[in-house]
Amino acid sequence: MKFNLKIFIILALSFTNLSGLLSQNDTKLFKDSLDGAFDISKWLFELHGFVPIISPITEPALGYGAAVTGVYFIPKKKTAKNEFRMPDIVGVGGGYTQNGTWYAGAGYAGFWRDDHIRYRGIFGYGNINLKYYGSGNSWLSKNPAKFNMESFFFLQQALFRIKESPFMLGGNYFFGKTKVTLFEDIDIPGVDPLDFDLINSGISAIGEYETFNNVLSPTKGIRLNLQYTQALELFGSDRKNSRLSFFTLYYLPVNDRWVSGFRIESMLASENTPFYLMPFVKLRGVPALRYQGEISMLAETEQFFNIYKRWSVVGFGGIGTTIPSIDDMNFGTTIWNAGAGFRYKIARLLGLQMGLDVARGPEDMAFYIVFGNAWLK
């Protein structure tokens, strides 16, 4: 579970839960003064109070479900130019899916000193049912091991902007206690039995460069992120392990109606990394943990076309692979995805979009409710 900008966006769309409580004057908050279209820009600029949210869960590995969250905004004082400033966010909630998975947690996201400090803090508990397909193991790929994972997680993270530049540096401290139970009494090839009851705790160093024209639904700019994570016995971890991850997102406006988006992502894990934290290919239409290895790599593109006023269509496709073992550096299965969807610009002043994607992977199809953009992290 992650507490990130998606919570902010989902809350922005939760006005539907309050429609029955609004007076006629209040409904003007959701009508654009220029084109008369449905719009939440004004409401976003005047955030306050506690709002309940109900949002769908559409992860193929978990099955369909719903998340219920309550979020409280801590608004910032307006600038002399009356510019929108991201509010701090406090959230608490949980979710349940059709395969019996459930979770609960709380978090805080802060945007401090005119966005010169970005803070995130979360804690949560999850009881999650998943399947493990192995890392290049042919038997497991056809006969995945079903397991339950009970996990408590705690995170404290801060990024600091370097003067007025797009560069940010920072890090985090994390603590996770996980207990794994197999649904069948079998030995899983390549899995350390210590993974079944483990404390994983340590620190991360993070560097980021961002020039997006819009944090929520960018149409121009680039974001590069490099993170090194190290679990250490000094911080209470049962054993040492590390991960190195990188991603870049790039948006290029071709003309007034066409925007091209590109994503490249990779992760490398050391030995002793728990099997449920090993890198895997993260593409729409591909279940979580389905394709794992000590190294994962992927590339994906999105093509946005504005077709009528606030409405746009999007087509996307990608490819990914894993390297099961660093020792032999042989590539695993090549994974692909493809799909299409639509977007509606629900907040004109912020350029914020929402919509629906339908994706096809190597084995199945899935749909995703998209708030902001599909690559938001």
**For the stretch 194-227, what's the b/e string if a residue is b when 16 or more beta carbons lie within 10 angstroms of its beta carbon?**
ebbebbbbbbbebbbebebebbbbbbebbbbbeb
pLDDT reading at 10 higher than 60: no
Assigned token pair, 177? 């206690």
Predicted pLDDT of residue 324? 87
Summarize pLDDT for 281-296 with one digit per residue, the tens.
999 999 989 999 999 9
Model pLDDT, residue 12: 44
| Confidence grade of residue 82 (pLDDT, cut at 50, 70, 90) | low
**pLDDT tens per residue, range 208-219:** 999 998 877 899
Give the distance between the most distant pair of CA atoms in the chain. 67
Who has greater pLDDT, 301 or 89? 301
The pLDDT score that the predictor gives to residue 346 is 84
Q: In the predicted model, what is the mean pLDDT of residues 128-132?
A: 93
pLDDT for the residue 15 = 41
Q: Are 168 and 213 in contact (CB under 8 A)?
A: no
pTM (two decimals): 0.85
Q: 341 or 83: whose pLDDT is higher?
A: 341
Mean pLDDT estimate for the chain? 86
160-213 pLDDT, tens digit each: 999 999 999 999 999 999 999 998 877 777 788 889 999 999 999 999 999 998
Give all domains of the chain, ordered by start, each with its CATH number.
5-371 (2.40.160.50)
pLDDT score at 48: 53
Percent of the chain at pLDDT > 70 equals 85
